Amino acid sequence: MLVDFQSLPDTSRIWIYQCNRTFSDEEVVEIKNGLSGFLEEWTAHGSNLRAAYEVRYNRFIIIGLDQSVANASGCSIDASVHFIQSLEQKFKVDLLDKMNVSYKQGEYIAYKNLKDFKKMAKDRAVSKNTIVFNNLVATKQEYLENWEVPASESWHARFM
């Protein structure tokens, strides 16, 4: 069951998929239509899942699940990953590679592989004050409070 993202409780589980490039406005419309259709039908062991999504900066897909209604099962998580993989194929992008880092350079969002980000930190091209996206957040509350933070407040700090 698709609901408004704002209506999800703060304890809702969150999955964040970062794209290796910015989606066009037309692609975002297609992605939102696809997400709406998928989440409207998303179930776990026959039970509807109360879920929502956001697309941020035309680059991040965030899916939230209200676990107080029903938890995602292995099969339902697999279904969501297959849906994301279908987006990867359709738009020829990477959404599942967790070994990459997104961070802000002014209003621009940069995307680097982890090796390059480490080198940039060593060379002081990024600093502890660089705003990074902590895609490891697990709940809506963590997403709202700790997703977009200075590197010093994220797992990225170990490279600074």
* pLDDT given at position 32: 98
**Cα separation of the two ends of the chain:** 42
Token readout for 82 is: 């297959």
Phi-psi region of 159 (alpha: psi -120 to 50; beta: other; left: phi over 0): alpha
**156 has pLDDT over 90:** no
88, 82 Cβ separation under 8 angstroms: no
- Greatest mean pLDDT among 65-69, 72-76, 80-84 lies in 80-84
What is the structure's pLDDT at 69?
80
With a pLDDT cut of 70, the percent of the chain lying above it is 100
Tell me the range of 3-7, 39-43, 74-78 where mean pLDDT is highest: 3-7
Q: Which pLDDT belongs to residue 98? A: 84
pLDDT score at 56: 97
Q: What is the DSSP string of 45-71?
A: TTEEP-EEEEEETTTEEEEEE-TTT-P
